[in-house]
A and B are shown apart, each in its own frame.
Chain A
Amino acid sequence: MVDALQELLQGLFGSVFPLVWALLKIVLIIAPLLLCVAYLTFWERKVIGWMQVRVGPNRVGPWGLIQPIADGLKLFLKEVVVPTGSDKRVFVIAPMFAFAPALAAWAVVPFNDTLVLANVNASLLYVMAIGSIGVYGIILAGWASNSKYAFLGGMRSAAQMISYEISMGLALVVVLMVSNSLNLGDIVNSQGKGIFADYGLGFLSWNWLPLLPMFAVYLVSIVAETNRAPFDMAEGESEIVGFHCEYSGMAFAVFFLAEYANMILVSTLTALLFLGGWLSPVGFLPDGLLWLFLKIAAVLFFFLWIRATFPRYRYDQIMRLGWKVFIPLCLIWLVVVGCWMMSPLNIWK
């Protein structure tokens, strides 16, 4: 069927066919992603509702299923207030800066051995580089609002993101050290080998077990990196004000979407780097896309779960955890794994 479609389009567009084909693939990734973002907000409200013995949204549509669409429509129709004295151009660009990297990173994310938009050699580096741009959205939003609260909030969130990017990066260095590659597809495939995988217990040879401390550091870091509870300084309405306090309507919605798109992105990365991507956990079941989606959903559920469980961290505690606990831990574990790989006990050959 794919071949037939390819032929049809080739006849239709002629020489610009590769461009059209690439655009089609991009749409095929982005459209489901945006739908997932919308329904992630719905799922979050439902899950937290159940955890707190409530029902969650249940009025719009059957079981409240149309709720995210209604929310989107409401935000879309609201007025975007641009504060007086704000830098209007930067004020409008800032939400795009926050949202665009979360979409652009998907260009190199592999869904199975062959299904990837751009199979780049250094795809992990690309994801990290694109991911590090998201901080501009926050810092520019804070500055362009021309408000002291937004400015301080922007500084705070930006400092938090930069700090946790370091521990995240160091955890990833350990991963790419043991898998001997920067390519996300190769990293996944390297997790399918090992003693346990030979016994048919593949899930024990994925990176999460041998690199357990790094897995823990990475899990906490991605929560802090996406500004989610319990590290959600930006949303602590009652005690502290965030960078988007001057934003309204669709401009605010884009920040909101960026947060959820980032959550899905980092969950996918966790599934690929530590949880074996599309590999099946046990030998008698085949590998496949379904496993990847299940793992992403599990990590996303973890996000929602800890949001319903833990109270918010204080800002100085967040910074201490990042700089004084995680970074030294990562540096030490980097050396430990290096020695492990050089010793006869090396399990990653």
Chain B
Amino acid sequence: MEFKTFVFYFFSAILVFAALRVITSRNPVHAALFLVLTFFSAAGVWMLLQAEFLAIALILIYVGSVMVLFLFVVMMLDINLDRLREGFWSYLPLGSIIALLMVAEMALILGGNYLGLLESSVPQAAADVSNVKAVGRLIFTEYVYPFELASVILLVGIVAAVALTQRGKRKNKSVNPAQQVFVKASDRVRVLQMPAEKRE
């Protein structure tokens, strides 16, 4: 077996195992950590495809920030497993329909080569242009409108999230630094002149 093939199977095995543990582990924090491991292995597989930019971006964005915020939320949840299990059978039909749909869609994509849906095979990276440059060029020329649209949607998302949390009156007691720097000693402290007293 070639070394590259071995590395691929190594990463893939970890990937599949970690992905399984994400949905089977009982502790939500452990599940989130296994998801981190899944991202890592996926980045490794992408690295093998010479998509180094995508691999690093996956770690930088998903592992570095998205999953951290995920952990923030998951850690603060008070999860009762018994209550979560209650609706298992009633949700099963809907859940299985969605699962089947996803399996079908994935089969269409993964089997695209065999079914003749894809026109070309996996694009090979150009040897002389770095990955980042190639992606950047495509984003800012061919796909500039979808790219800008996506960024506008993200901006709206940020503003909406801030607006939703900041509704109503300000409740915290944080000080206003602009006012704070203009405070003078005479505003806070009053110096009294008192005549010295003599001991009797």
**Chain B: interface secondary structure?**
helix
Q: Does A241 have its Cβ within 8 Å of any Cβ on chain B?
A: no
Q: Does B174 have its Cβ within 8 Å of any Cβ on chain A?
A: yes
Neighbour of A162 across the interface among B36, B56, B68, B75, CB < 8 A: B68
B64 cross-chain contacts in A, Cβ below 8 A? 128-129, 132-133, 135, 165
Known interface pairs A132-B63, A139-B71, A139-B72; A182-B52 also in contact (CB < 8 Å): no
A132 nearest in chain B by CB position:
B64
A158 nearest in chain B by CB position:
B68
- Establish whether residues A121 and B29, one from each chain, have CB atoms under 8 Å apart when the complex forms: no
- Establish whether residues B72 and A155, one from each chain, have CB atoms under 8 Å apart when the complex forms: yes
Interface flags for A125-158 (1: CB within 8 Å of B; 0: not) read 1101110110110011001000000010001001
Neighbour of A135 across the interface among B59, B68, B132, CB < 8 A: B68
Interface flags for B54-73 (1: CB within 8 Å of A; 0: not) read 00110110011100110110
- Establish whether residues B72 and A121, one from each chain, have CB atoms under 8 Å apart when the complex forms: no
B27 cross-chain contacts in A, Cβ below 8 A? 87
Q: Does B87 have its Cβ within 8 Å of any Cβ on chain A?
A: no
Neighbour of A121 across the interface among B36, B65, B131, B177, CB < 8 A: B131
Interface size on B, residues (CB 8 A): 24
A120 cross-chain contacts in B, Cβ below 8 A? 52
Q: Does B33 have its Cβ within 8 Å of any Cβ on chain A?
A: yes
Would you list which residues of chain B between 48 and 100 have a CB under 8 Å from chain A?
Answer: 52-53, 56-57, 59-60, 63-65, 68-69, 71-72, 75
Alpha-carbon gap, A185 to B101, bound state (A): 48
Neighbour of A133 across the interface among B63, B71, B72, B177, CB < 8 A: B63
Alpha-carbon gap, A330 to B132, bound state (A): 22
Q: Does B113 have its Cβ within 8 Å of any Cβ on chain A?
A: no
Alpha-carbon gap, A164 to B59, bound state (A): 18
Would you list which residues of chain B between 91 and 116 have a CB under 8 Å from chain A?
Answer: none
Q: Does A90 have its Cβ within 8 Å of any Cβ on chain B?
A: yes
Q: Does A88 have its Cβ within 8 Å of any Cβ on chain B?
A: no
Pairs A–B under 8 Å by Cβ, sample size 13: A90-B29, A90-B33, A120-B52, A125-B53, A125-B57, A128-B64, A129-B56, A130-B59, A136-B36, A139-B68, A139-B71, A139-B72, A182-B130
Known: A121-B131, A140-B33, A165-B65; 10 extra A-B contacts, CB below 8 A, are A87-B27, A122-B132, A125-B60, A125-B132, A132-B60, A133-B59, A135-B68, A143-B75, A162-B65, A182-B132
Q: Which residues of B contact A (CB under 8 A)?
A: 27, 29-30, 33, 36, 52-53, 56-57, 59-60, 63-65, 68-69, 71-72, 75, 130-132, 174, 177
Q: Which residues of A contact B (CB under 8 A)?
A: 87, 90, 120-122, 125-126, 128-130, 132-133, 135-136, 139-140, 143, 151, 155, 158, 162, 165, 182, 316-317, 320
